[in-house]
Amino acid sequence: MKAIVCTKYGPPEVLQLKEVEKPIPKDNEVLIKIYATTASIVDRRIRGLNVPGPGWILMRLMFGLTKPRNLILGRYLAGEIETVGKKVKRFQNGDQVYGLTGYGLGAYAEYKCMQETDSMHGCLALKPSNITYEEATVAAYGGLLALQSLEKGNIQRGQKVLIYGASGTSGTTAVQLAKHFGAEVTGVCSTTNLELVKSLGADKVIDYTKEDFTKNGETYDIIYDTVGKTSFSGCKNSLKQKGLYLAGAGGLLEFVQMGWTSMIGSKKVIFGIARQKTEDLIFLKELIEEGKIRSVIDRRYPLEQTAEAHSYVEKGHKKGNVVITVEHNKKT
């Protein structure tokens, strides 16, 4: 089968199209014919060892000290089940699914084996019936992190929530989820994305190129930074008493802050990491099928142009998500 292999650590050009052996599912696994995946921040960080703080050391230990160990990246996928192991009960051949591959990665390929139950290697569920594979992989990527971050923040109806990076991967979904939970939502983005964020349901929008939200006197119950461009210290005065700073793209500093703010002060830092839970995928599926949230796609690239997809994302100008599509000779 065709796959994009990370041959060494470095810029997008290290991603190379190669022929690799098609995986065979174990008794508790399903074989998925992949139709779509994404250029996620985790994939880009592994590829370039661009990890905040000393995390790059752990990454080398996990994926290879001097070069990756035959590493196929790809953390999110959508596709169709081609084969089920004899112990699998939740799925059957032909099911359309979407999910998170977790530490197993491997979605930059034509096929991927996954367990039917949640594990460190991901979670899987039936995809929403009313959207495409491309939209489904986006829902898994932005949706899981946004949902889990807002739930960690114990979001409540009537709260004031500010989402920084509201036009990005998890930001576009976070705006819609926060509105679904009954919050008053302020989205922060660039000039060109103001109308997009308004269309997603934001009550207010702030153009960060013209206004610093930390200096306008407004305070919020939750500030959710989806892109890692702000800091707890810089946002602290914009939080209400018992307010929460959600670090959706945080690093070691935010992880440490989460510890000490849990012990002192009324304002807390919460570090966002996407959990691998099927129930979250099912919840997102229900909202999508009810028309409560939608996926935002900026560009689509074929699997062969995965390096170009990474290059475009790293320019920092995308709206929503960048999708990588996988074509098969006999697509059903």
Q: What is the pLDDT of residue 23?
A: 97
pLDDT in tens, 309-318: 999 999 888 8
State both tokens at 211.
Answer: 């206004």
The sign one gets for the Cα dihedral 137, 138, 143, 149 is: positive
> Do residues 126 and 101 lie in contact, with contact meaning Cβ atoms separated by under 8 Å?
no
Q: What is the pLDDT of residue 120?
A: 82
Residues of the chain with confidence (pLDDT) below 50: 252, 254, 259-260, 263, 330-332
**Strand partners for 126:** 97
Residue among 303, 302, 300, 301 nearest 20 (CA): 303
pLDDT in tens, 5-49: 998 999 999 999 999 999 999 999 999 999 999 999 889 888 988
Q: What is the pLDDT of residue 143?
A: 93
Q: What is the pLDDT of residue 263?
A: 47
pTM: 0.90
DSSP string, 310-327: HHHHHTT--SSEEEEE--
Q: What are phi and psi of 241, to 5 degrees?
A: -60, 135
Helices vs strands, H then E, count in the chain: 9, 16
Q: What is the pLDDT of residue 262?
A: 52
Domains of the chain are 2-140+276-325 (3.90.180.10), 142-271 (3.40.50.720)
Q: What is the pLDDT of residue 225?
A: 94
Q: What is the pLDDT of residue 245?
A: 93
